[in-house]
Structure 1
């Protein structure tokens, strides 16, 4: 007599067949939901009406840090020039980015509203004009991509690295058009060296992939690169200038 083939769902197959049906229904529903999202993406391609800059970075940097003040100055200048700022909210460098964007908005009539914030949960924070709440990290990252014309990656940990690598990969496979993707500071040198020596040298990635991020080490460099792209955006989207949030 042959042995019974184990069911992938374990004991639930014999003890509670209804639970298996429920699991299958949930799995199928999730798959159908993602198909719907992909269909909507095709129907409504990424057509940006505003020039928005997403800022990623650590939530652990204290306000007295020089980096905190550099980020405030960076986003102040971008906001004053008319760029929208998009952050994940929270403390540390996200707080610095939001504060700087608010200061830029207050300092010049060329700018409009406060930064957009994509968050998980129900946390509130000052210096934010518009909040989108997400229950999962994955939908939040997807929303960053949908909103943004440029990306600045500040020093950070695993979460910031995940965000950076997702943008990098989308640029690699051309799911994003040519977009400013800035890695700020010497913090990222080790990652870039690892990608070159472990991925590129072993033919897991192309050498041209190393040119997708731009390493910048000063606030002036960040502002110069972003505003150069902003000017190009304005030239091609004369009705989509300024930085009010829509």
Structure 2
């Protein structure tokens, strides 16, 4: 018995998997079901488009530093003001500041960078609730996919500053740290700003995770922890992974 077989590019279909029409027929059909627009193969094209747009927009950006932090931080608070100072200091040091482009600490950093005449980058993300790029972004891109956005942060930042934040901030910090630890990317500095905020987490990592040999002492040396804006700039522009003040 001959098995029904059809080859579609790299895909082989047999028996019940054989489609009744060819790809060309579906492409050239003047009318028909538009549901295909929402299927996974079409999403690949959208994903590709996001990478093309991101690479094309940021290719000439020059040296840049990514800054992560909470969207919930209120304006005028000490940590918000520190974000402004970090953005300003990065611009004065010749670096573009890249944030998620949202409110809170992200807006503070973008504001500082823009006021200092630097490039203030916002990499926005589509969320269930409305959130647009803040007004201090001078170069912005909105993404549908978190992973495409993360690639842009990693590709175009030569270091990261992580300010206090929630799950999103922690996700970004640990992903960057994991990629450096596993040498999937060239090592770059990761600075945690705010010793009071980060000390309990680092204590747990040292007393539990390190104590049970899930990480090494060298892994912890990848992080710099500081309350000094000047130390942030020194860390991200010079030596990765060192203790503040050394």
In structure 2, the residue matched to 1:56 is 68
Distance 1:192 1:130 in 2: 34
User: Higher mean Cα deviation, 147-156 or 214-223?
Assistant: 214-223
Match runs of 1:10-49 below 5 Å: none
Unaligned runs of 5+ in 2: 1-16, 19-34, 53-58, 241-246
Equivalent pair of 1:84/1:115 in contact (CA under 8 Å): yes
Asked which structure has the greater RCO (Cα within 8 Å, sep 6+), the reply is 1
Q: Secondary structure at the match of 1:192?
A: helix
Structure in which a larger fraction of residues adopt helix: 1
C-alpha separation in 2, matches of 1:160 and 1:59: 9
Q: How does 1:1-246 map to 2 (within 5 A)?
A: 50-105=62-117, 113-121=118-126, 123-186=132-195, 187-228=197-238
Distance 1:130 1:229 in 2: 28
Aligned-residue offset at 1:229: 5.7
Contact 1:98 1:115 survives alignment (8 Å): yes
**Contact 2:102–2:122 at 8 Å: present in 1 too?**
no
The Cα offsets for residues 207-246 of structure 1, whole Å up to 9 and x where unpaired, read as 211111111121121122234369xxxxxxxxxxxxxxxx
Cα distance in 2 between the residues matched to 1:223 and 1:204: 31
Distance 2:183 2:236 in 1: 20
For these two proteins, the number of residue pairs brought into alignment is: 191
Structure 1: give runs of 5+ residues left out of the alignment: 1-16, 41-46, 106-112, 231-246
Q: Give the conservation status (yes or no) of the 8 Å contact 1:54–1:85.
A: yes
When normalised by structure 2's length, the TM-score is: 0.69
Superposed CA deviations along residues 167-213 of structure 1, whole A, max 9, x for unmatched, are 01001001121211101112111221222222221122222111111
Cα contact 2:66–2:161 (8 A) shared by 1: yes
The alignment's TM-score, normalised by the length of structure 1, stands at 0.69
CA contact (8 A) 1:48 1:147 kept: no
Does the 8 Å CA contact 1:120/1:136 hold for their aligned counterparts? yes
My pick for the range that moved more, 157-166 or 58-67, is 58-67
SS of corresponding position for 1:194: helix
Q: Give the corresponding residue for 1:3.
A: none
Distance 1:74 1:125 in 2: 17
